[in-house]
Structures are given as structure tokens and as C-alpha cells.
């Protein structure tokens, strides 16, 4: 092993940015790859959003209005897949790429070439998935969960495209997660002990573990779908001794940790932003870490709460009900800590803080409706209604997506070197937070009254509530164009120049480097007090 590495050797190709398209295609730079991930996720956010607009337009009135039921099913399915695998997860990976090396004082991600590979798989995967919408028989129409036998017997050709695109998305996620874990465990600046790491790094470390543990299980599940559909196996067919319910067990063993994969990094973001704008240290740092780990471990024990109505022994129903409710405890610890951080702080309400505050309140609403759903007998009433749709959109839109927007506003000055347009950003916030509640809150009532999800038509008594919902939906969709405008203005370097630390109360290594962050940071590790 050569221990004395010639430092000058590296500098030769390190002090300049490569130019042209090749910079983006062949890059090994964590900031470039982070930028690619973030732009990709923004594009997918609008693609998935367009599908949501189709859904809301169809549901504006009872009866079939605009699209065929089969196309409606494709829209609900692909909307879900695009938002989960194309928008939310890549956005978090983009944030991890940009921020983690800077937060822990590392020169780059641990495995820079694999990092590039992880990203570039995604455009290919989504070309296949979205391309299947234009194939003869259409795209996947069995719901993003791809339950058998819908996917195995009624999926048509779309099942194959779905399975293989999910396979390569999974490969991308696993490689991305391995990169994050290794970066965090092996690349921290000297003195940066685990319990000194920013919460965002902690939450991503645990998220990455969840990804590596469950993405392969999804790969196994969809492989069984593939062989059931095309190679005559009967994993999910009772005539051959299998069971369609078995698919749901395997899928949700992936699916529930996946839910936390999409929220734990949010917790990290909010834990960075609230202390910055409350000008106080995060309350209960170590309890935050343990709560995150507890949520992650419990996430492996609750999967069947998605399938209370599909047939299980009573013992299992009770087990999964209680385990699910226990998750409220570590989650409550987090909410308490955020509120306690703000207690007697000197609060200011810049846009990142506004989104973080909206996150705390609205995510908690989603958490409470989750508790309602966790109660087995109550779930018999709520299952597969719009109540469920309301619940998971509160945790995913006002939860995950709002935290991503908070992160974007918080770190945009660091990424671009320019302050975003504060007026426009506040317009974006208020339009979003009002319209998102008009969009999702009435869904609770529609669901409690019995309106089933994933159906293009509904009984006439649901007409008013659906009209309100659709108006909220269009408003929320249009509001996001304001966000796009703000981001593009920043990317075009319009506006005020940002200081290296634009937020008075912000802490962390990322604020010790200039804005925009230089192409290479911390080639020599910084000092940790």
C-alpha cells in the first residue's frame, strides 16, 4: 500500500470545471451530480403533477368526463410511481449529494464514479416507464403497488416494462445508498464523531440503511410478478399453491420502510432549518438520533397495516396495529423537539422557515390520520377510501415535498451564489399552503363518507367535495410554476448576491465555504471543535 500519495498529482485535474455537455455526462463531482438529481426530480415533479391534473380534471364532476377508465388507471399508477421514484427519492439523493460531503467535511462522495452511474440510470428507467404509456395496451394501470393478480393477469405488456424499469431504479437506489453510507462512515473530517454530525446526515445514514435493506426485496417481489406473468410460476396464484396475499406481504415489507425512506431525510432538513431561524441549538439532539433509529427499526414490523382487510389471523392484526401505534412515540419525540427548539427562540420567518413550520403542522395532521388508520377495526371503514389518499398526501406532499422546498430555499443561495426572489418565494409559499389544504383536507370527508379511491367515477353526493378538491389541485399545480420561476431566476444568476452564510443562525461546515460553493471543497479536511 502506498502511503505517501503525491498531493500535486490530483490538483492537476481538480482546479477547473470541465466545460460543455461532457461535464454533466461524465462527472464525478458530488455537486454536479447533486444538481443533476435535483433538476431530474424537478422535471419528474412536473410530469407526475401533470398526471395528477388529469386525475383531478376527470374527478371534477361525476360521470366519465375526459378520459377512459383504463387511461385514468394508468394516470393514478404512473403518478404514484413517478412521484415516489422520480421526484421525492431523487430529490433527497440530490440533497444528500450536495450537502453530506460539505456537512461532514469530505472532499467528495466516497465512490464518485458509482455516484454518476446511480444518477444516469434514472433517465433510462423513466424513459422505459413513461414510454410504456405510449405502447400498444398502455402503461401500467394496476396501481403503483402492482398487486397480483391485477398485474399478473390483467396487466398486459405493461407488467414487463414496469418490472424491468423498477429493477434498474432499484439498482440506482441501492448504489446511491451504499455511497451515502460509506461516505458518512468513512469520510468524516477528523473529530467529526457520529454524535456531532448534523441531523440531516444522521437521517440520511439511516435512510440509506433502509434503502439497502428493502430495495432488493422489491426487486424480488417484482421478479416473482414477472415469472408469474410470463414464465408460468404461481407464487401469487392459489391454484399452484401460492397466494395473491403473499405479494402484498412481500411488497409492503419493502413498502413500509419505503415510506420512511421518503420522510426521514425530511426530518433531517427540518432539524437543520428550525434551529437556524429560531437561533437556538436543536433541542434534544441525541433523542432525535435515537428516535430516527427507532422509527427505522419499527418500520420493519408494521408492514401489514396496509392490508388489514385482506385476510390475516386476529393475532397478526393486533400485532401490526400495536407496532404501528408505537411509531407515534418516536415521531412525537421529534415533533416535541422541534417545538421545544422554537420555544423562546428569536424566530424569523424567511421562506425556508415558513415551509418548515408548515411541515411541522401539516405533517402532524398526516401523522394523526395515520394513527386513525392504524386502528384495525377503524381501518375496515377507511381502507381504500379517499381518507387514505388524504393521509398519505399530507405526509408526502405537505411532509416530504414541503421539506424538499424548504431545503431548496435554504440551500439555493449556497448552490447558486444568489439569493432567491424573496417576494416570489413567499407568494409561492402562501399559494401552496392554502391550495394544498383545499386540495387534500376535503378528501378526509369524502373518504369517511365512503368514496373509494382509484375510481374515475363517483356517486353524485361526492360532487361538491370533489369540485373543491379539484380547484385546490389546479391551484396547487399552478403555484408550483412560481417555484420553477424562482429556481430558474436563481440558476440564471439574477438577483442579489448571497454571502457565504446568508442565514444568521445557520450552523455547519457548508456555511464556512463561499457561495456559490467552489467546485471542490474540503480537499483538506476542516477542523472540528
Partner 1 sequence: MSEQQSYYVPASSPWPIIGALGLGLIAWGASTTVIQASAEQDGHGSTVLFAGIGVIVFMLFGWFRDQINESTKGLHNEQLNTSYKQAMSWFIFSEVMFFAAFFGALFYARVIAVQWLGGDSNNAMTNEVLWPEFVAHWPLVNTPGGTETQAMGWYGLPAINTIILLISSVTCHFAHTGLEQGKRKQLTGMLGVTIILGLIFLYLQGAEYVHAYEELGLTLDSGIYGNTFYMLTGFHGLHVTLGTVMLIIMFLRVLKGHFTPDNHFAFQATSWYWHFVDVVWLCLFVVVYVL
Q: Which residue, 227 or 500, is less far from partner 1 as judged by CB?
A: 227
Considering only residues 89 through 108, tell me which ones interact with partner 1, judged by CB under 8 A: 106-108
Shortest Cβ distance from residue 63 to partner 1 (Å)?
Answer: 35
Site string for partner 1, 146-185 (x = CB under 8 A): -----------x--xx-xxx-xx--x--x--xxx-xx--x
Selected from 23, 281, 493, 494, the binder of partner 1 by CB under 8 A is: 23
What is the pattern of x (binds partner 1, CB under 8 A) and - over residues 185-204? Answer: xxxx-x--------------
Q: Which residues pair with 385 in a beta bridge?
A: 452
Q: How far is the CB of 246 from partner 1 (least distance, A)?
A: 5
CA distances to 143, 229, 436 from 243, rounded to whole Å, are 19, 14, 39
CB of 443 to partner 1, least distance (A): 33
525 near partner 1, rule: CB under 8 A: yes
* Chosen residue from 84, 215, 407, 408 binding partner 1 by CB under 8 A: 215
CA–CA gap between residue 394 and residue 384 (Å, rounded): 16
Question: Does the footprint of partner 1 cover residue 242 (CB under 8 A)?
Answer: yes
Residue closer to partner 1 by CB (options 106, 358) is 106
Please, are residues 526 and 512 in contact by the beta-carbon 8 Å criterion?
A: yes
Measured from the CB atom, is 205 or 365 closer to partner 1? 205
Q: Minimal distance in Å, beta carbon 253 to partner 1?
A: 7
Per CB under 8 A, 226 contacts partner 1: yes
Q: How far apart are CA 354 and CA 357, in angstroms?
A: 5
> What are the DSSP calls for 140-162, one per residue?
--STTTT-TTHHHHS-TTHHHHH
- Interface region with partner 1, contact rule CB under 8 A, candidates 40-48, 214-222, 424-432, 490-498: 214-222
Tell me, what DSSP letter sits at residue 385?
B
> Cβ of residue 11: shortest distance to partner 1, in angstroms?
9
d(CA 329, CA 352): 27
Q: Which residue, 21 or 377, has its beta carbon nearer to partner 1?
A: 21
User: Taking the CA atoms of the chain, what radius of gyration do you get in angstroms?
Assistant: 23
Whether the Cβ atoms of residue 275 and residue 281 lie closer than 8 Å to each other: yes
CA atoms within 13 A on the CB side of 104: 32
φ and ψ of 137, to 5 deg: 65, -10
- Smallest distance, partner 1 to C-beta of residue 174, A: 5
441: closest CA among 332, 385, 366, 331? 366
- In contact, 480 and 49? CB cutoff 8 Å: yes
Among 120, 320, 409, 410, the residue binding partner 1 under the rule CB under 8 A is: 120
Q: Which of 15, 63, 70, 240 binds partner 1 (CB under 8 A)?
A: 240
Site for partner 1 in 47-66 (CB under 8 A): none
Instruction: Return the number of the residue (162 or 415) whose C-beta is nearest partner 1.
Output: 162
Residue 514 beta carbon to partner 1: minimum distance, rounded to whole angstroms: 20
SS3 category, 378: helix
Residues 24-43 interacting with partner 1 (rule: CB under 8 A): 25-29
250 or 278, CB closer to partner 1? 250
Pick 1 or 344: Cβ nearer partner 1: 1
Window 455 to 484, contacts with partner 1 (CB under 8 A): none
**Cell 420553477 sits on residue:** 484
Catalytic residues: 79, 108, 144, 172-173, 256, 258, 260, 271, 305-306, 331, 334, 453
Does 385 help bind partner 1 (rule: CB under 8 A)? no
CA–CA gap between residue 299 and residue 293 (Å, rounded): 10
Closest CB 24 distance from partner 1, rounded Å:
9
Q: Is the dihedral of CA 388, 389, 390, 395 positive or negative?
A: positive
Is position 133 an interface residue for partner 1 (rule: CB under 8 A)?
A: no
Which residue from 35, 41, 74, 116 is in contact with partner 1, where contact means CB under 8 A? 116
Kindly state the cell numbers that stand for 227. 415469472
Q: How many residues bind partner 1 (CB under 8 A)?
A: 93
CB atoms within 10 A of CB 89: 26
The Cα–Cα gap between 306 and 248 comes to 9
> Under the criterion CB under 8 A, does residue 117 sit at the interface with partner 1?
yes
CA 473 remoteness from chain centre: 20
Nearer to partner 1, 229 or 266 (CB): 229
Structure-block grid coordinates of residue 315: 393475532
Which of 224, 259, 388, 465 lies at the binding interface for partner 1 (CB under 8 A)?
224
Closest CA to 475 of 522, 441, 428: 428
Q: Which residue lies nearer to partner 1 by CB, 145 or 223?
A: 223
Q: What is the DSSP string of 108-143?
A: S-SSHHHHHHHHHHHHHHHHHHHHGGGSTT-S--ST
- Please list every residue from 277 through 306 that binds partner 1, using CB under 8 A: none
Binding test (CB under 8 A) with partner 1, winner from 142, 147, 204, 235: 235
**Closer to partner 1 at the Cβ: 72 or 235?**
235
User: Of 112, 149, 284, 345, which one interacts with partner 1 (CB under 8 A)?
Assistant: 112
CB of 144 to partner 1, least distance (A): 18
Q: Select the residue interacting with partner 1 from 44, 81, 213, 270 (CB under 8 A).
A: 213
Position among 195, 377, 460, 524 found at the interface with partner 1 (CB under 8 A): 524
Angstrom distance (rounded) from CA 494 to CA 156: 49
What is the chain's length? 529
Residues 208, 410, 364, 255, CA torsion sign: negative
CA atoms within 13 A on the CB side of 443: 29
How many helices and strands in the chain, by DSSP H and E?
20, 0
Amino acid at each position: 500500500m502506498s502511503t505517501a500519495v503525491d498531493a500535486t498529482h490530483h490538483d492537476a485535474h481538480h482546479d477547473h470545471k470541465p466545460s460543455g455537455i461532457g461535464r454533466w455526462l461524465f462527472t464525478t463531482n458530488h455537486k454536479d451530480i447533486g444538481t443533476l438529481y435535483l433538476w431530474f426530480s424537478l422535471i419528474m415533479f412536473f410530469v407526475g403533477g401533470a398526471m395528477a391534473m388529469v386525475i383531478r380534471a376527470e374527478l371534477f364532476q361525476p360521470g366519465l368526463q375526459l378520459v377512459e377508465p383504463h387511461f385514468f388507471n394508468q394516470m393514478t399508477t404512473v403518478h404514484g410511481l413517478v412521484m415516489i421514484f422520480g421526484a421525492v427519492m431523487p430529490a433527497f439523493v440530490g440533497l444528500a449529494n450536495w450537502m453530506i460531503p460539505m456537512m461532514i467535511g469530505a472532499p467528495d462522495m466516497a465512490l464518485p464514479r458509482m455516484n454518476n452511474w446511480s444518477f444516469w440510470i434514472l433517465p433510462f428507467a423513466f424513459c422505459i416507464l413513461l414510454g410504456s404509456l405510449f405502447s400498444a395496451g398502455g402503461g401500467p394501470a394496476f396501481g403503483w403497488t402492482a398487486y397480483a393478480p391485477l398485474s399478473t393477469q390483467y396487466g398486459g405488456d405493461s407488467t414487463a416494462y414496469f418490472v424491468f424499469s423498477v429493477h434498474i431504479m432499484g439498482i440506482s437506489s441501492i448504489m446511491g445508498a451504499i455511497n451515502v453510507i460509506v461516505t458518512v462512515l468513512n469520510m468524516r473530517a477528523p473529530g467529526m464523531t457520529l454524535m456531532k454530525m448534523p441531523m440531516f446526515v444522521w437521517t440520511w445514514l439511516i435512510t440509506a440503511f433502509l434503502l439497502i435493506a428493502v430495495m432488493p426485496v422489491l426487486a424480488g417481489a417484482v421478479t416473482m410478478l414477472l415469472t408469474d406473468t410470463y414464465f408460468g410460476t404461481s407464487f401469487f396464484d392459489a391454484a399452484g399453491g401460492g397466494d395473491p396475499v403473499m405479494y402484498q406481504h412481500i411488497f409492503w415489507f419493502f413498502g413500509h420502510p419505503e415510506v420512511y425512506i421518503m420522510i426521514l431525510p425530511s426530518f433531517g432538513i427540518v432539524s437543520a432549518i428550525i434551529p437556524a431561524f429560531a437561533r437556538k441549538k436543536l433541542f434534544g439532539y441525541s433523542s432525535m438520533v435515537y428516535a430516527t433509529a427507532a422509527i427505522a427499526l419499527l418500520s420493519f414490523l408494521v408492514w401489514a397495516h396496509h392490508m388489514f382487510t385482506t385476510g390475516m389471523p386476529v393475532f397478526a392484526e393486533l400485532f401490526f396495529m400495536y407496532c404501528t401505534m408505537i411509531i407515534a412515540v418516536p415521531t412525537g419525540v421529534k415533533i416535541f423537539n422541534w417545538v421545544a427548539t422554537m420555544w423562546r427562540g428569536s424566530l424569523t420567518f424567511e421562506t425556508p422557515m415558513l415551509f418548515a413550520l408548515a411541515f411541522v403542522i401539516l405533517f402532524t395532521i398526516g401523522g394523526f390520520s395515520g394513527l386513525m388508520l392504524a386502528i384495525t377495526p377503524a381501518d375496515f371503514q377507511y381502507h381504500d377510501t379517499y381518507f387514505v389518499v388524504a393521509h398519505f398526501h399530507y405526509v408526502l406532499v405537505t411532509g416530504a415535498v414541503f421539506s424538499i422546498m424548504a431545503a431548496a430555499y435554504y440551500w439555493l443561495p449556497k448552490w447558486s451564489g444568489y439569493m432567491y426572489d424573496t417576494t416570489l418565494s413567499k407568494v409561492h409559499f402562501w399559494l401552496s399552503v392554502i391550495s394544498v389544504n383545499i386540495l387534500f383536507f376535503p378528501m378526509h370527508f369524502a373518504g369517511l363518507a365512503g368514496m373509494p379511491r382509484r375510481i374515475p367515477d363517483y356517486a353524485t353526493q361526492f360532487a361538491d367535495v370533489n369540485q373543491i378538491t379539484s380547484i385546490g389541485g389546479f391551484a396547487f399545480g399552478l403555484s408550483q410554476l412560481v417555484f420553477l420561476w424562482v429556481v430558474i431566476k436563481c440558476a440564471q444568476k439574477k438577483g442579489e448576491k448571497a454571502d457565504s452564510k446568508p442565514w444568521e443562525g445557520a450552523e455547519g461546515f457548508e456555511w464556512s465555504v463561499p457561495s456559490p460553493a467552489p467546485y471542490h471543497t474540503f480537499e483538506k479536511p476542516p477542523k472540528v471543535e
